[in-house]
Structure 1
Amino acid sequence: MAQRSAFLRSFARHWLKPVTLILLLLPFVWIAAQWALLLTGRPNDLGFEPVAATHHFLGQTAIRILLVSLAVTPFRDITRWAPIMQVRRRIGLAAFWYALLHLLAYFGADLFFSLPALWEDIVERTYITFGMAALLLLIPLAVTSFNSMIRKLGAQRWQQLHMAVYAIAVLAVIHHFFAEKGLQPGPLIHAGILALLLGWRVWKRVVPKLLPVARPQRG
């Protein structure tokens, strides 16, 4: 047990942040490698519609990383391993960057950077409306995910601002649900995971208030 605790402390001090960064970069490395294979005429996994496959992959990656960021606190609560909180903001920032890449892939390759076409899609297509709302709400969270901004805002105001991540996650899952044709398992799995993560937070807040407070007996 002592050896395990020493290993976890050493891992948290020296390896947690680098390993997290490498894991967060892996999806980008994979999609970049697929495009390198495609452009050099070699077999790849992008299929017959590489552009669509790319922005779908980036969007789903953004949602999954966002869900991982929401899973950090329950993981800490269950395992009592506090160092995991050191990488929560880094994971959240990665979700923002993948969401931004998802938008750029769609905006550039599908709409050829046409702002009128983008606005038309936002107004007329429900799933794009939800997706843009989620991305716009992510921007202030990304901008304030630095120690200097936390000091400027104050811890309480910063925490209140970042409560928006729950609404963002709901919007992102709805965006994915409407973006898929027919009833697909992916959005349902994401919705189920999100429901568990939000349910854990509700349980933590509500259940302790409902339980009777034990009072010490007078001897």
Structure 2
Amino acid sequence: MRQALQHRRAKLVLWLLCLLPFAWLVLGAASDTLGANPAEYLIRATGDWTLRLLCMTLAVTPLRVMFGLPELLRLRRMLGLFTYFYVLLHLLCYSWLDMGFEWTDIASDIAKRPFILVGFTAFVLLTPLALTSSNRAIRWLGAKRWQWLHRLVYAVAVLAVLHFFWMRAGKSNFAEVFVYASVLFVLLAWRVVHSSVWRQLLRSVGFTR
């Protein structure tokens, strides 16, 4: 595993794998095989892939620590950027296929419908993380400020699940919501348990040394 992650083509393989869903959706749209409502299918599929890649991005650190694989860090940035790529596609599909780029209607829809407002807020919070993903941005912000900024991803994760929950609430279909919520809960709980603040709190009340 370590050799595979260290391989010079590991990033290229991940890049191709992350593009596969996009290629599949483009092919499906071109061949008209996305079902009776292609627009709805594209909006939901791009949203699903945003959530999946967000989970993968957040899973990098726990997997790195638990399995002693520091090489995984090489792939986290790409996963994060592809998360943003798919959320951009999700927003584009909604704005174009559902709303026809009617910006007044889009603004009104965001204000009126809570699940769209929550989803748009998650997109807004994710944008500065994508824009500051380079090494130059880390140097410009400083490592500490950069780390604090990128903790917004936890808020993004909560908002993304809430967006998905409200979207599925109309049809009372919560099976997938439960899966994503469970995965993200475990990933965020791991971070809380392993955070230095949490350890200091436990130490202060005598639970750890």
TM, length-normalised to structure 2? 0.92
Matches for 1:100-179 after TM superposition, within 5 Å = 100-179=88-167
Q: Tell me the distance in 1 between the aligned counterparts of 2:5 and 2:82.
A: 21
1:195 counterpart = 2:182: no
Q: Tell me the distance in 2 between the aligned counterparts of 1:149 and 1:134.
A: 21
| 2:60–2:73 contact (8 Å) kept in structure 1 | yes
Matches for 1:74-113 after TM superposition, within 5 Å = 74-113=62-101
The Cα shift of 1:184 comes to 2.2
The residue that corresponds to 2:20 in the other structure is 26
The Cα shift of 1:194 comes to 0.6
Find the partner of 2:173 among 170, 180, 183: 183
Gaps of 5+ in 1: 1-6, 39-43, 214-219
The Cα shift of 1:10 comes to 5.5
Q: Tell me the distance in 1 between the aligned counterparts of 2:183 and 2:4.
A: 31
Cα–Cα, structure 1 residues 48 and 202, in superposed 2: closer, same or farther, change >3 Å? same
The Cα shift of 1:198 comes to 0.6
Q: Tell me the distance in 1 between the aligned counterparts of 2:56 and 2:4.
A: 23
Query: Kindly, what percent of the aligned residue pairs are identical?
Result: 38
SS in 1 for 2:121: helix
Residues 112-168 of structure 1, C-alpha deviations (whole Å, 9 max, x = no match): 101111111111111101000000001100000011111111111111100000000
Matches for 1:47-58 after TM superposition, within 5 Å = 47-58=35-46
**CA RMSD, aligned part only?**
1.4
Q: Tell me the distance in 1 between the aligned counterparts of 2:118 and 2:5.
A: 39
Residue type of the alignment partner of 2:157:
A
Q: What is the total number of aligned residue pairs between the two structures?
A: 201
The Cα shift of 1:186 comes to 1.0
Find the partner of 2:194 among 185, 199, 204: 204
The residue that corresponds to 1:8 in the other structure is 2
